[in-house]
Chain A
Amino acid sequence: MTIQTRTAENGVNVAALLGAREALSKAPEAARFKWRATSKWLKGTHSRATVEGFFGLGGEQMHRQAYQFDSDHPEIFASEDNGAVPVELVLVALVGCLTAGVASVAQKRNIQLKSVQATIEAPMDLQGILGIDPNVRNGFDRIKVHYEIDADASAEDIAAIVAQSQKRSAVFDVITNPTDVAVTTSKA
C-alpha cells in the first residue's frame, strides 16, 4: 500500500465549496439563488443576451464583468449566422456544467486531471419545429455526451467522477426533468 501525500491541483477550491455547503445547510435562506439574463432582439433571428447580476447569499451579486451571448440561425436557414443556434447554447450549458462538476469531484477525491475533453451531440428532427409532423417533438431526440479524460486514476474511478458530476449537475437536472416555465408579455 502506498500512502498518498500529494494533493491534486485542478484549480478547484474544494475547501471553500465544502465550507459553503456547511454554511448553507445551516442558513437555508442564503442558499436560495436566482439566475437572470436579459435579451435584446437585434435583427432577423439575431439576438444578444447579457448576464451580469444574480441573487444569492441573501443579496445581489455581480459577475466580475458582463458576459454577452449572440444567438442566431445559420445561413442554410436563410439567416445571417451571427451567433450560436440557441439549441447549441443548451449543449454548451450542459457540457459546461458537467465539466465543472468533473473538475470539482476529481478535486474532492484528490485525483489529478491532466486533460478533459468532451464532445456533445444531439439529433433533432426539424419536422417538429416546422410543424410538418405533430408526432415529432420540437426538442432533441436525445443528447449524447462523451468524455475523454486523462487522469491519475483507474477507468472505473474516472467513470465514477463523471457519474457523480451528472448526479450533482443543475443543467443535467434541468434537461432531464420537467420544469414549469412561465412566459409573460407586456407592451413597451
Chain B
Amino acid sequence: MAERRAGIIDVVVMGAGHSGLAMSRLLSERGIEHVVLERGQIANTWRTERWDSLRLLTPNWLSRLPGYAYPGDDPDGYMNSVQVAAFLENYARWAGAPVVSDTTVTSVTQSGVGYRVATTRGDWLCRAVVLATGAFNQPVVPHIAQGVPSGVHQLHAQAYRNPEQLHPGRVLIVGASATGVQLAHEIQNSGRSVTLAVGEHVRMPRTYRGRDVQWWLLASGLLDRRIEEEDDPERARRVPSPQLASTPGLTLDLNRLRNQDVEVVGRLAGIRDGKAQFSGSLRNICMLADLKLNRLLSAIDEWLDGRGRSLGIAPAERYEPTVTDDAARLSLDLREEVRTVLWATGFRPDYSWLRVPVLDPKGQLKHDRGVVDAPGLYVLGLPYLRRRKSSFIHGAEDDARELGAHLANFLGRKREQLGDRHAS
C-alpha cells in the first residue's frame, strides 16, 4: 500500500479496528475519499493490550464484515487475539482500505468547513470525522483502589497476560463479567487461590438447546434489537458483557467457578485499614441474574415455538439457581491473605484528544445513535450504539451502513452549500 501523506480529504476515519474498516469499505463503495488513521498497526488493541488466552466471545462463523465472511475451516471455534488481528488485516487488504498506520492522532479541532485532525505525522483537513477508536481504551479502576496496601500487587486486566506473571498467593479479582470469570477460571487452574468479588452481572450459558447461545441471540432477532426500543437506553448501554468463556461447551457461571473452589463474594464496596469489604447484596445480585437468564431463555423458547418447527433441536433447559453461601465472606484482610488484586472493572473510551465541545459533564460523547452533536462527526462501535450487536464484529456493518448514508448525505449538502465557490 502506498504511503499516504497528510493533506486535505473528505473523511478521516480514526481507528483500524473492525468498525473503522467496515466504515472504510462502505465509504469506498460510495466513492467517498477517506483515510483510516491508526496509532499502531491494524487491530492494535488486539495485538498489544489483551491477555494471552483471550478469545472472541462470538464463534468464527459470526465473524463477518461488509462483503466478507469468515474464510477458515473452523466455523464453531473462537478466534484468539492473533487470529482476530490476522482476520482484520486480511479484510483490510481485501477491501483495499486506505490505512495509514503508526499515526497517532493528537487532536481533533473544528476548522474552516470541517475538522483539523492533527497527528504525529502531519495534519489532515477534512469535512467529516468518524471516531472508530473503540469503547475499551482506558482501564477503569475504582477510587477505592487507593486503599490497597502497598505490599499488595495490583493490576488491571489490560496489563494482565497470564498467571505466571502473578505471585503464587491468593488473587482477589474484582468484577465478574466475561473478563473476571475467565481470569478467575484461568488463575484458579494455575494453582493460585482466587476470591472473586461479584457485582451486577449477566449470566449466560455457552450453549443452549445444543447450539451456541450467540446463534439463538442472532436467529431470534435479539441482537438486532434497536436502542429506540429500550425503555432506558442509558442503562441498556451500560449492561456488562455476559459471563461467557470461549471454550466450546464450557459455561463459566458462578456455580462452575464455585465447584472449582473459587471463593465467590459480594461486590467490593470499600477498603478500610487494609481490609476489603464486600457488599451483603450478593444473594440478590445472583437472584437478579438468574431471573434475567430465565427471561432470556423463555424469550428464545417462545421464538422457537412461534416458528412451529423445532425438529432436531434439543428440549428447553433451565439451569440450577446460583448457589450462594449463607456465610459469604464480608471482609478480607488484604495484607494477610492476598498477594494480588486484579481489576476486571472494565474500560472506557478515551476522547482526551477531541477538542470539539461534544462531551457531557461526565465525559461521555453526546450523540444520537452515532451522529455526534457536531456536524460531520460520527462515532461507531460503542456498546448498543444503534443495535444490541453494535460493538460486535458482525454488528459493525448495519451501523456503518446507516451512518455512512447519513455521512454521504451530509457531504452532499456540504458540497451544494460550497458548490458555487468551490466548483471544480
Contact = CB atoms under 8 A, between A and B. Distances in A.
Interface string A162-186: 0110110000110111100000000
B284 A178 contact: no
Main SS at interface, chain A = helix
A156 interface: yes
A177 B287 contact: no
B280 A163 contact: no
Contacts of A156: 291, 294
A149 B272 CA distance: 39
Contact of A175 (B266, B280, B291): B280
B279 interface: yes
B284 A166 contact: yes
A166 B281 CA distance: 8
A159 B291 CA distance: 8
B280 A176 contact: yes
Contact of B291 (A160, A173, A176): A160
A39 B279 CA distance: 29
Contacts of B281: 166, 172-173, 176-177
Interface in A59-107: none
B288 interface: yes
A175 B294 CA distance: 28
A163 B291 contact: yes
B294 A176 contact: no
B376 to A, nearest CB: 27
Nearest to B361: A28
Contacts, number: 35
Nearest to B280: A176
B287 A176 contact: no
Interface string A132-163: 00000000001000000000000010011001
B291 A167 contact: no
Given A160-B291, A167-B288, A178 B280 contact: no
B281 to A, nearest CB: 4
Nearest to A25: B234
Contact of B270 (A159, A164, A178): A178
Given A156-B294, A160-B291, A163-B291, A177 B284 contact: no
Interface string B276-318: 0101110010011001001000000000000000000000000
Given A163-B284, A166-B284, A177 B291 contact: no
A158 to B, nearest CB: 11
Nearest to B285: A167
Contacts of A178: 269-270, 272, 277
Contact of A164 (B267, B288, B294): B288
B288 A177 contact: no
Contacts of B270: 177-178
A166 to B, nearest CB: 4
Interface string B397-419: 00000000000000000000000
A186 B267 CA distance: 37
A167 B267 CA distance: 13
A177 B294 contact: no
A178 B331 CA distance: 11
Contact of B287 (A163, A172, A173, A175): A163
Contacts of B267: 177
A157 B288 CA distance: 11
A159 B287 contact: yes
A163 B288 contact: yes
A178 B281 CA distance: 12
B410 to A, nearest CB: 28
B266 A176 contact: yes
Nearest to B284: A166
A178 B330 CA distance: 10
Contact of B269 (A160, A172, A177): A177
Nearest to B281: A176
A127 to B, nearest CB: 18
Contacts of A176: 266, 269, 279-281
A138 to B, nearest CB: 14
Interface in A25-57: none
Among B266, B267, B269, B280, chain A packs the most CB atoms within 10 A around the CB of: B280
Nearest to B269: A177
A142 B277 CA distance: 15
Contacts of A163: 284, 287-288, 291
Among B266, B272, B277, B281, chain A packs the most CB atoms within 10 A around the CB of: B281
Given A160-B291, A177-B280, 10 more contacts: A142-B326, A163-B284, A163-B291, A173-B281, A176-B266, A176-B280, A177-B269, A177-B270, A177-B277, A178-B269
23 contacts: A142-B326, A160-B291, A163-B287, A163-B291, A164-B288, A166-B281, A166-B284, A167-B288, A172-B281, A172-B284, A175-B280, A176-B266, A176-B279, A176-B280, A177-B267, A177-B269, A177-B270, A177-B277, A177-B279, A177-B280, A177-B281, A178-B272, A178-B277
Interface of A: 142, 156, 159-160, 163-164, 166-167, 172-173, 175-178
